[in-house]
Structure 1
Amino acid sequence: MLSAQEACAIVLALYDGTLRDGKPERFVIQSCELSSKGDYWIVRANTEDCVLHGMTQYCYVGVNAHLVNVVTGARETVASCFTVEEYLQDKYDLQAAAGNLYVLIPAFARDDKPALVNLRQKLACSYPETLKLLGEQRQWLTGKRRQLQEAQRLLASQGIATSIELQIEAAGAIAIGVEAWHSDAVLKALRSRLR
């Protein structure tokens, strides 16, 4: 197993040769800890001026952390737009999917009249269109499991029950991303499924 010191050395080697005002920039380790599963060292580094002297004007931005595999020493960079936990969860979910796709589907049948009426009203569509969403177009949304869980939560707040399944293909399912973080966006994505 790779030690914390070895993981830090791998990360610091990335910054060798970085210049500020034509002079070499010195980087230091801000923190180093094991991931919750113990499979990665989570290493954060920045300039010495920022970390040790609090001079935030010399802080390099854009990188949240570096992940160093404890077995192989392979390094991955986590951008600052993700938390390390989100990045790792997406990575673990992708491994668990084993080549399949995460798909959000309705968790009710066509004969559930109250659920059918609610879905039709929320989508402002016709009964035949609603029935299609519960029949041949059951694969509503696809994407990262974490994002589908958020869409599922948002739909549940609208009284629309769904489930997330792994499927070989997602024929016609709408791919969602970070844009689906409110109920209207998720409903809009479902409406676009009707086209």
Structure 2
Amino acid sequence: MLSPQQACSLVLAMHDGTLRDGQPERFAIQSCELTAHGDYWAVCSNSEDYVLRGMTQYCYVGVSAHLVNVHSGEIETVANCFSVEDYLQDKYDLRAAAGQCYVLTPAFGRDDKPAMINLRRKLGCSYPEVIRMLCAEQRHWLTGLRRHLEAVQRLLGQQNIATQVEMVPEAAGAFAIGVETWYQDAALKALRARLQ
């Protein structure tokens, strides 16, 4: 297993050759922490002028952290639009899926009339459309990263629309979602798109 010093050395070596105003840029380590599963060192680095001297004008942006595999030393860079935790969760979820897809499906059937009425009202659609969304061939409503589907599941739950996240071999017919579904109206809009 790589030590934290070895991981930091790998990250600093990665920055070799970086120039600022035609001169070699020197980098320093801000932090180095072992991830929760113990499989990566999360190393944050930036220019020496920023880290050691607090000169914000020399702060490099765009990278959240560098993940150094504790066994292989392979480095993955996490963009600053992700937290290290979210990046790793997506990575673990994809590994667990083993080629399958995550889908959001209804957690109720055609025998639950109050749930059907609520779904029809929330989506502003007809009963035949609701019935179609609950039949076996149409139950895969949304697909995407497990983390995004779980967020939509919580949002729909606040609208009393019971759903569940499942893993299936194919997500045929499911509407693909991403980070844009972070609020209730966007989640309902994605579900309406499934009606198309």
Runs of 4+ in 1 over 4 A off after TM superposition: none
**1:31-64 Cα distance to aligned partner (Å, 9 max, x none):** 1110011100010000001001111110000000
Residues in 1 aligned to 2:58 and 2:106: alpha-carbon distance in whole angstroms: 50
Indicate whether 1:68 and 2:68 are aligned: yes
Q: What one-letter code is carried by the residue in structure 2 that aligns with 1:175?
A: A
Q: What one-letter code is carried by the residue in structure 1 that aligns with 2:10?
A: I
Task: Give the secondary-structure state (helix, strand or coil) at the position aligned to 2:178.
Answer: coil
Task: Give the secondary-structure state (helix, strand or coil) at the position aligned to 2:155.
Answer: helix
Query: Which residue in the other structure is 2:178 paired with?
Result: 177
Query: Which residue in the other structure is 1:94 paired with?
Result: 94
Superposed displacement of residue 144, structure 1 = 0.5
Residues in 2 aligned to 1:190 and 1:17: alpha-carbon distance in whole angstroms: 49
Output the aligned Cα RMSD.
Answer: 0.6
Aligned pairs for 1:1-195 (under 5 A) are: 1-135=1-135, 136-195=137-196
Residues in 1 aligned to 2:99 and 2:115: alpha-carbon distance in whole angstroms: 32
For these two proteins, the number of residue pairs brought into alignment is 195
Q: TM-score, length-normalised on structure 2?
A: 0.98
Superposed displacement of residue 9, structure 1 = 1.1
Task: Give the secondary-structure state (helix, strand or coil) at the position aligned to 2:103.
Answer: strand
Residues in 1 aligned to 2:184 and 2:97: alpha-carbon distance in whole angstroms: 26
Q: Quick one: percent identity of the two aligned structures?
A: 69
Q: TM-score, length-normalised on structure 1?
A: 0.99
Residues in 1 aligned to 2:132 and 2:186: alpha-carbon distance in whole angstroms: 20
Unaligned runs of 5+ in 1: none
